[in-house]
Amino acid sequence: MLVNRSGAAPIEVPRGLAGVVVTDTEVGDVRGREGFYHYRQYSAVDLAHTRSFEDVWHLLVHGELPDATQRAAFIAETTALRRLPDEVRAALPDIAAATGRSGPLSGLRTALSLLGAAKGFRPVYDIDAGERRRDAVAAAAAVPTLLTALYRLAQGLDPVEPRDDLSCAANYLYMLTGSEPDPRQTRAIEQYLISTIDHGFNASTFTARVVASTGADVAACLVAAVGALSGPLHGGAPSRALDTLDAIGTPDRIDPWIRERVLAGERIMGFGHAIYRTEDPRSRMLREVAESFGGARVEFAVRVERQVESILAELKPGRELHTNVEFYAGVVMELCGLPRELFTPTFAAARVVGWSANILEQAEDSKIIRPVARYVGPAAPVRVPEVS
């Protein structure tokens, strides 16, 4: 319960602001009871099935899907922005050396700050909508280059420069491996990236908007969002979901392993979502992507999913718990050759587009986000004791 500063009755506020509407948005929405989410007016899953990452990026930034001319112009713009300023490129080896043990997501925070300074990003409060958009697109375009360079440097490898003839998804795989990307893997990664661009007012998106409400520059807003995403309760689950499959190991261990954890009240990584009360539509789509590859790993993942749902129905009747996006995201990324330490950074490479759209929307409102807290400490005022 929070005190209403106007003197009216106290306001009941749920923990974590669950379900509290804090603003209006045209970026997208999650309708958890229906098992549906959308970007602007389009189903996000339909977009992942039918459109390219660049098309959806255009939709989030410009508010509409591009026609052929707009698509060509946007691809040309973003392709040129993949290359890093000389000051940033020169600093990456030191950033990678300092953050190598923490992973590329940690290095991304520092690299994004440097990118914003090198490109002369100014506070969104002081610039017009056109300059804000240019800054947001420039930062988002650079993130895949930064992440893959930091990862390779930490592995003792030289960064791979982006190619102008490759799509965003293909370039990501190319800059990671230095090899010509496989078309099927490229499309699978592209569908994953599209499916995770935005997802309502999650913790990192809300963080980006809070910082944007102060009028800070785009890079500062994105650095804050990356910090929120780094928490294991938000962006760290795809690799942990694979850890679950590894811990179970073989089909004969599925039943006892799951029963033990359900009865102990432990969380099974890759299952359950704070919003969805039905099957996560992202998980459904990514299961289809994984099944298109086939193989023992995919068959095992599907079997674990079915068994978890069956055991929960038996032991916890009435409790709806389905796979979330992280479960099959980990499977798909593994099938496409991504190392586990890049799962969450790859999530960030997609979500930076959603963050950017939210930053641009928030920047249109000059009101700073400034909630209040309920004080529960000792009664005040208390006289300050004198020093003896």
The three-state DSSP-derived secondary structure of 52-73 is CHHHHHHHHHHCCCCCHHHHHH
Of 49, 74, 72, 50, residue with least CA distance to 60: 74
Chain mean position to CA 331? 17
Give the chain's length: 388
CA distances (Å), origin 138, targets 18, 85, 218, 364: 33, 11, 10, 19
Burial grade of 314 (CB within 10 A; 0-12, 13-18, 19 or more) = exposed
Of 154, 177, 40, 49, residue with least CA distance to 107: 154
Name the DSSP letter for residue 304. Answer: H
Q: Are 200 and 289 in contact (CB under 8 A)?
A: no
Beta-bridged to residue 257, according to DSSP, are none
Is the peptide bond between 371 and the residue preceding it cis, with omega within 30 degrees of 0?
no
Whole-number Å distance between alpha carbons of 270 and 281: 14
Q: Is 108 helix (H, G, I), strand (E, B) or coil?
A: helix
Catalytic residues, which ones?
273, 326
Please identify which residue in the block is written with the tokens 């098309």. 55
The string over 94-126, giving b where at least 16 C-beta atoms fall within 10 Å of a residue's C-beta and e elsewhere, is ebbeebbeebbbbbbbbbbbbbbebbebbebee
CA distances (Å), origin 110, targets 91, 116, 138, 176, 344: 10, 10, 16, 20, 17
